[in-house]
Chain A
Amino acid sequence: MLMIALLLAVMVLVLRLFYLQIIKGQEFRRLSLNNSIRLQNIDPPRGFIYDRHGTLLVDNRPSFDLFVSLKDARPLAETLARLSPHTGLTVEDLTQRVQSVPRKSAFKPVLIERDIGRDALATVESHRYDLPGIDVQIRRLRNYIFPNFAAHLLGYIGEINTKELALHENTDLRMGDQIGKFGVEKSLEQYLRGERGGRQVEVNANGQVVRVLHTVYARSGHSVYLTIDRALQEKAEELLTGEAGAVVAVDPQNGEILALASNPSFDQNDFVTGITTEKWRALIENPDRPLNNKAIQGEYPPASTYKIIASLAALQEKVITPEETIFCPGYHRFGNRTYRCWRRGGHGKVDLNQAIARSCDVYFYQVGQRLGIDRLAFYARSAGLGKRTGIALGHESRGLVPTAAWKKRKTGIAWQEGETLSVAIGQGFNLATPLQMAMFTAAVANDGKRYQPLLVKKIAKAGEQPSAARPPKLIGRLPVTDINLALVQKGMWEVVQGEKGTARIARLKQIDISGKTGTAQVVSLDKFEENEEAKDERRFKDHAWFIAYAPSEAPRIAIAIIVEHGEHGSSAAGPIAREMVRTYLGPEADAQVSARTEKPAPAEDASAAGGRGGHG
Chain B
Amino acid sequence: MVDRRYFTYFDWGLLALTFLLGLVGLMTLYSAVMAGVPTPQKALFIKQLIWYGIGLAAMLVCLLFNYKLLERWGLVIYAICILMLVWVMFFGKYVGGSRRWLIMGPVSLQPSELVKIAVIIVLARYYAKYVSSRGFSLRDLQIPAVLTLIPFILILRQPDLGTAGLVVLIAATMTLFVKIEQRSLILLIGSAVVMIFPVWFFVLKDYQKQRILTLFNPEGDPLGTGYHIIQSKIAIGSGFLTGKGFLQGTQNALSFLPEQHTDFIFSVLAEEWGFVGAFILILAFLVFLFWSLNIAFGCRDPFGTILAVGITAMIAWQFVINIGMVMGLMPVVGVPLPFISYGGSSLLTTLICVGILMNISMRRFMFE
Q: Decide if B250 is an interface residue (CB 8 Å cutoff).
A: yes
Give the residues in chain A near B97, CB-CB below 8 Å.
Answer: 168, 171
Interface string of B133-162 (1 = CB under 8 A from A): 000000000000000000000000000000
- Alpha-carbon distance A198/B226, docked complex (angstroms): 12
Assess the B286–A6 pair: CB atoms within 8 A: yes
Chain B residues near A334 (CB-CB < 8 A): none
Do B177 and A2 have beta carbons less than 8 Å apart?
Answer: yes
Contact B237 A25 (CB under 8 A): yes
A487, CB-defined interface residue at 8 Å = no
Chain B residues in 8 Å Cβ range of A2? 173, 177, 293, 309, 312
Interchain CB contact under 8 A, B286 and A198? no
Interface residues of A in 1-28 (CB under 8 A from B): 2-3, 6-7, 9-10, 12-14, 16-18, 20-22, 24-28
Which residues of B sit under 8 angstroms from A539, Cβ to Cβ? Answer: none
Contact A10 B177 (CB under 8 A): no
Q: A213 touching B222 by the CB < 8 A rule?
A: yes
Contacts A14-B279, A17-B279, A168-B97; A216 near B237 (Cβ below 8 A): no
Mark each residue of chain B from 284 to 320: 1 if its CB lies under 8 Å from any CB of chain A, else 0.
0110011001000000000000000100100010001
Q: How far is the CA of A6 from the CA of B271 in the complex (A)?
A: 25
Interface size of A in residues (CB-CB distance below 8 Å): 36
Does A595 reach chain B (CB closer than 8 Å)? Answer: no
CA distance A22 to B324 in the complex (A): 17
CB pair B282–A10 under 8 Å, yes or no, is yes
On whether the beta carbons of A32 and B323 are closer than 8 Å, the reply is no
Is A25 in contact with B238, judged by CB distance below 8 angstroms? Answer: yes
- Using a CB-CB cutoff of 8 Å, which residues 134-172 of chain A contact chain B? 166, 168, 171
Q: B289's contact among A6, A17, A29, A166, by CB below 8 Å, is which?
A: A6
Residues on the B chain within 8 Å of A122, using CB: none
Q: Does B270 contact A21, Cβ atoms closer than 8 Å?
A: yes
A residues less than 8 Å from B278 (CB atoms): 17, 21
Nearest CB in chain A: distance from B255 CB, A: 10
A2 to B254 alpha-carbon distance, docked (Å)? 40
Interface residue B260 (Cβ < 8 Å from any Cβ of A):
no
B231 within 8 Å of A (CB atoms): yes
Which of A33-41, A387-395, A552-560 contacts its partner? A33-41
Q: Count the A-B residue pairs with Cβ separation under 8 angstroms: how many?
A: 114
Is the CB of B46 closer than 8 A to any CB of chain A?
A: no
Chain A binding surface, main DSSP class: helix
B279 to chain A, nearest CB (A): 6
Residue of A nearest to B177 (CB): A2
Interface presence of A106 (CB below 8 A)? no
Question: CB distance B238 to A31 under 8 Å?
Answer: yes
Q: How far is the CA of A35 from the CA of B235 in the complex (A)?
A: 10
**Pick the contact of B275 from A22, A35, A214 — CB < 8 Å?**
A22
Tell me, yes or no, whether A369 is within 8 Å of chain B by CB.
Answer: no
B240-290 CB contacts (< 8 Å) to partner A:
240-241, 250-251, 254, 256, 270-271, 274-275, 278-279, 282, 285-286, 289-290
Size bracket of the B interface: 35 or more
Decide if B290 touches A3 in the complex (CB within 8 Å).
Answer: yes
Decide if B250 touches A32 in the complex (CB within 8 Å): yes
Q: Is the CB of A27 within 8 A of B329?
A: no
A607 is an interface residue with CB less than 8 A from chain B: no
Please pick, from A16, A198, A200, the residue contacting B329 in the complex, using a CB distance under 8 A: A16
Separation in Å of the B295 CB from the closest CB of chain A? 13
Pick the contact of A22: B173, B234, B241, B329 (CB < 8 A): B241
Query: Is B240 in contact with A22, judged by CB distance below 8 angstroms?
Result: yes
Once the chains bind, are A28 and B233 in contact (CB under 8 Å)?
yes
Contact across chains for B237 and A29 when beta carbons are under 8 A apart: yes
Q: How far is the CA of A31 from the CA of B329 in the complex (A)?
A: 20
CB–CB B240/A21 < 8 A: yes
**Docked CA distance A16–B238 (Å):** 14
Is B327 an interface position by the 8 A CB rule?
A: yes
Q: Is B230 an interface residue (CB 8 A)?
A: yes
Assess whether B222 is in contact with A214, with CB atoms less than 8 Å apart: yes
A121 to chain B, nearest CB (A): 31
B236 touches A21 (CB 8 A): yes
Q: How far is the CB of B96 from chain A (nearest CB, A)?
A: 8
- B94 interface residue per 8 A CB criterion: yes
Contact with B along A33-52 (1 / 0, CB 8 A): 10101010000000000000
Q: Is the CB of A20 within 8 A of B227?
A: no
Which A residues between 205 and 245 are near B, CB-CB below 8 angstroms? 213-214, 216
Can you list 26 A-B contacts with CB-CB less than 8 angstroms, sorted by A residue number?
A2-B173, A6-B286, A6-B316, A12-B324, A13-B282, A13-B324, A13-B329, A16-B327, A17-B279, A18-B275, A20-B237, A20-B327, A21-B240, A21-B241, A21-B270, A21-B278, A24-B237, A26-B240, A27-B237, A32-B235, A32-B271, A35-B250, A166-B94, A200-B222, A200-B223, A214-B223
Chain B residues in contact with chain A, CB under 8 A?
A: 94, 96-97, 173, 177, 219, 222-223, 226-227, 230-231, 233-241, 250-251, 254, 256, 270-271, 274-275, 278-279, 282, 285-286, 289-290, 293, 309, 312, 316, 320, 323-324, 327, 329
